[in-house]
Amino acid sequence: MRTLILYSSTDGHTIKICQFLQKIIERQGDEISLISVERESDIDLQDYDRVIIGASIRYGKHSPLIVDFINNNAAMLDTLPNAFFSVNLVARKPEKRAPDTNPYLKILLKQISWKPMQLAVFAGKLDYPRYKFRDRLMIRLIMWMTGGPTDRNAVVEFTDWKQVEGFGRLVSQMKQSPTAST
Protein backbone atom coordinates (compact mmCIF):
# COMPACT_ATOMS: atom_id res chain seq x y z
CA MET A 1 0.00 0.00 0.00
CA ARG A 2 1.04 3.56 -0.62
CA THR A 3 0.64 5.59 2.56
CA LEU A 4 0.79 9.34 2.92
CA ILE A 5 1.85 10.73 6.26
CA LEU A 6 1.06 14.43 6.06
CA TYR A 7 2.12 16.61 8.96
CA SER A 8 2.45 20.06 10.39
CA SER A 9 5.16 20.54 12.99
CA THR A 10 6.04 23.68 14.91
CA ASP A 11 9.29 22.67 16.62
CA GLY A 12 10.09 19.31 15.02
CA HIS A 13 8.64 16.82 17.49
CA THR A 14 5.66 15.94 15.29
CA ILE A 15 8.16 15.08 12.53
CA LYS A 16 9.92 12.73 14.96
CA ILE A 17 6.61 11.02 15.73
CA CYS A 18 5.83 10.75 11.99
CA GLN A 19 9.24 9.17 11.32
CA PHE A 20 8.58 6.67 14.10
CA LEU A 21 5.20 5.81 12.55
CA GLN A 22 6.85 5.55 9.14
CA LYS A 23 9.23 2.84 10.41
CA ILE A 24 6.35 0.86 11.90
CA ILE A 25 4.29 1.00 8.71
CA GLU A 26 7.26 0.25 6.46
CA ARG A 27 7.70 -3.05 8.34
CA GLN A 28 4.45 -4.10 6.65
CA GLY A 29 6.13 -3.55 3.27
CA ASP A 30 4.23 -0.35 2.55
CA GLU A 31 5.60 2.58 0.60
CA ILE A 32 5.50 5.80 2.66
CA SER A 33 5.47 9.43 1.58
CA LEU A 34 6.28 11.72 4.51
CA ILE A 35 5.23 15.25 3.53
CA SER A 36 5.05 18.56 5.38
CA VAL A 37 1.90 20.54 4.61
CA GLU A 38 4.03 23.69 4.96
CA ARG A 39 6.35 22.60 2.15
CA GLU A 40 3.98 20.90 -0.27
CA SER A 41 0.72 22.45 -1.38
CA ASP A 42 -0.12 20.22 -4.34
CA ILE A 43 -0.88 16.78 -2.90
CA ASP A 44 -3.05 14.42 -4.91
CA LEU A 45 -4.70 12.00 -2.52
CA GLN A 46 -5.59 9.72 -5.44
CA ASP A 47 -1.91 8.70 -5.43
CA TYR A 48 -2.36 7.00 -2.04
CA ASP A 49 -4.13 4.02 -0.53
CA ARG A 50 -4.08 5.32 3.04
CA VAL A 51 -3.64 8.75 4.68
CA ILE A 52 -2.39 9.66 8.14
CA ILE A 53 -2.39 13.31 9.19
CA GLY A 54 -0.53 14.60 12.22
CA ALA A 55 -0.41 18.13 13.58
CA SER A 56 1.03 19.93 16.55
CA ILE A 57 -0.59 22.60 18.65
CA ARG A 58 0.79 26.07 19.24
CA TYR A 59 -1.15 28.48 21.42
CA GLY A 60 -4.20 26.27 21.40
CA LYS A 61 -4.54 25.80 17.63
CA HIS A 62 -3.62 23.35 14.93
CA SER A 63 -1.96 24.82 11.86
CA PRO A 64 -4.42 26.63 9.59
CA LEU A 65 -2.72 24.85 6.66
CA ILE A 66 -3.72 21.46 8.09
CA VAL A 67 -7.28 22.63 8.74
CA ASP A 68 -7.52 24.02 5.18
CA PHE A 69 -6.06 20.83 3.68
CA ILE A 70 -8.55 18.68 5.58
CA ASN A 71 -11.53 20.86 4.67
CA ASN A 72 -10.48 21.06 1.00
CA ASN A 73 -9.98 17.28 0.78
CA ALA A 74 -12.60 15.89 3.16
CA ALA A 75 -14.54 14.02 0.47
CA MET A 76 -11.43 12.25 -0.82
CA LEU A 77 -10.15 11.56 2.71
CA ASP A 78 -13.43 9.77 3.43
CA THR A 79 -12.78 7.32 0.57
CA LEU A 80 -9.46 6.12 2.01
CA PRO A 81 -8.41 4.38 5.21
CA ASN A 82 -7.36 7.35 7.29
CA ALA A 83 -6.24 8.56 10.67
CA PHE A 84 -5.42 11.79 12.48
CA PHE A 85 -3.24 12.51 15.47
CA SER A 86 -2.63 15.65 17.47
CA VAL A 87 0.57 16.43 19.37
CA ASN A 88 0.27 18.81 22.31
CA LEU A 89 1.64 19.48 25.76
CA VAL A 90 -1.70 19.34 27.55
CA ALA A 91 -1.60 15.60 26.70
CA ARG A 92 1.28 15.28 29.20
CA LYS A 93 -1.59 14.73 31.63
CA PRO A 94 -2.97 11.20 31.11
CA GLU A 95 -6.56 12.40 31.49
CA LYS A 96 -6.07 14.72 28.47
CA ARG A 97 -4.45 12.12 26.22
CA ALA A 98 -7.58 10.51 24.78
CA PRO A 99 -9.39 11.85 21.70
CA ASP A 100 -12.59 12.41 23.68
CA THR A 101 -10.82 14.26 26.53
CA ASN A 102 -8.29 16.39 24.68
CA PRO A 103 -9.68 19.93 24.32
CA TYR A 104 -7.63 20.78 21.23
CA LEU A 105 -8.71 17.73 19.28
CA LYS A 106 -12.33 18.30 20.26
CA ILE A 107 -12.12 21.87 18.90
CA LEU A 108 -10.51 20.70 15.65
CA LEU A 109 -13.17 18.06 15.06
CA LYS A 110 -15.83 20.80 15.25
CA GLN A 111 -13.95 22.85 12.62
CA ILE A 112 -13.76 20.10 10.01
CA SER A 113 -16.30 17.97 8.20
CA TRP A 114 -13.97 14.97 7.91
CA LYS A 115 -14.45 12.23 10.49
CA PRO A 116 -11.15 10.33 10.80
CA MET A 117 -11.43 6.56 11.14
CA GLN A 118 -8.75 6.52 13.81
CA LEU A 119 -7.76 9.29 16.22
CA ALA A 120 -4.91 9.68 18.67
CA VAL A 121 -3.46 12.34 20.93
CA PHE A 122 0.23 12.26 21.82
CA ALA A 123 2.03 14.30 24.43
CA GLY A 124 4.68 16.50 22.90
CA LYS A 125 8.08 17.77 23.92
CA LEU A 126 8.88 20.85 25.97
CA ASP A 127 12.17 22.40 24.83
CA TYR A 128 12.64 25.84 26.36
CA PRO A 129 16.22 26.40 25.06
CA ARG A 130 15.02 25.90 21.49
CA TYR A 131 12.13 28.38 21.66
CA LYS A 132 12.31 31.99 20.58
CA PHE A 133 12.20 34.51 23.43
CA ARG A 134 8.47 35.31 23.10
CA ASP A 135 7.47 31.67 22.77
CA ARG A 136 9.58 30.73 25.78
CA LEU A 137 7.84 33.38 27.89
CA MET A 138 4.36 32.42 26.73
CA ILE A 139 4.91 28.69 27.13
CA ARG A 140 6.43 29.16 30.59
CA LEU A 141 3.36 31.19 31.57
CA ILE A 142 1.06 28.47 30.24
CA MET A 143 3.08 25.79 32.06
CA TRP A 144 2.99 27.81 35.29
CA MET A 145 -0.79 28.17 34.99
CA THR A 146 -1.26 24.44 34.29
CA GLY A 147 1.29 23.06 36.76
CA GLY A 148 3.93 22.10 34.21
CA PRO A 149 7.71 22.59 34.20
CA THR A 150 8.82 26.23 34.16
CA ASP A 151 12.62 25.98 34.39
CA ARG A 152 13.75 27.96 31.34
CA ASN A 153 16.46 25.35 30.67
CA ALA A 154 14.09 22.37 30.82
CA VAL A 155 13.87 19.90 27.98
CA VAL A 156 11.20 17.30 28.71
CA GLU A 157 9.83 14.76 26.27
CA PHE A 158 6.39 13.69 27.46
CA THR A 159 5.64 11.38 24.51
CA ASP A 160 4.49 7.87 25.39
CA TRP A 161 6.29 5.97 22.62
CA LYS A 162 4.39 2.75 23.39
CA GLN A 163 1.18 4.65 22.69
CA VAL A 164 2.64 5.89 19.38
CA GLU A 165 3.74 2.35 18.51
CA GLY A 166 0.27 0.98 19.22
CA PHE A 167 -1.28 3.64 16.99
CA GLY A 168 1.26 2.82 14.28
CA ARG A 169 0.37 -0.87 14.40
CA LEU A 170 -3.33 -0.03 14.30
CA VAL A 171 -3.09 2.24 11.26
CA SER A 172 -0.72 -0.13 9.46
CA GLN A 173 -3.52 -2.72 9.54
CA MET A 174 -6.06 -0.38 7.96
CA LYS A 175 -6.71 -1.59 4.43
CA GLN A 176 -8.57 -0.13 1.48
CA SER A 177 -12.23 -1.02 1.57
CA PRO A 178 -13.30 -3.00 -1.52
CA THR A 179 -16.32 -0.68 -1.85
CA ALA A 180 -14.33 2.57 -1.59
CA SER A 181 -13.72 4.37 -4.84
CA THR A 182 -10.65 6.42 -5.65
Domain limits of the chain?
2-124+168-172, 126-158
pLDDT at position 181 is 43
Helix segments in 8-115, DSSP class H: 13-26, 64-77, 103-111
Whole-prediction pTM value? 0.91
pLDDT of residue 42: 81
Q: Which residues contact 99 (CB under 8 A, 6 or more apart)?
A: 105, 119, 120, 121
CB neighbours of residue 102 within 10 Å = 24
Residues 6+ apart with CB under 8 A from 73: 45, 114
C-alpha 88/C-alpha 171 separation (Å) is 20
Per-residue pLDDT, 177: 56
Question: In angstroms, how far is CA 110 from the centroid of its own chain?
Answer: 16
Residue-wise pLDDT for 118-130, tens only, equals 999 999 999 999 9
Helix (H), strand (E) counts: the chain: 5, 8
Residue 179 has pLDDT above 90, yes or no: no
> Which CATH architecture best describes the domain 2-124+168-172?
3-Layer(aba) Sandwich (3.40)
| pLDDT of 151 above 80 | yes
What mean pLDDT is reported for the chain? 92
Cβ(121)–Cβ(100) below 8 Å: no
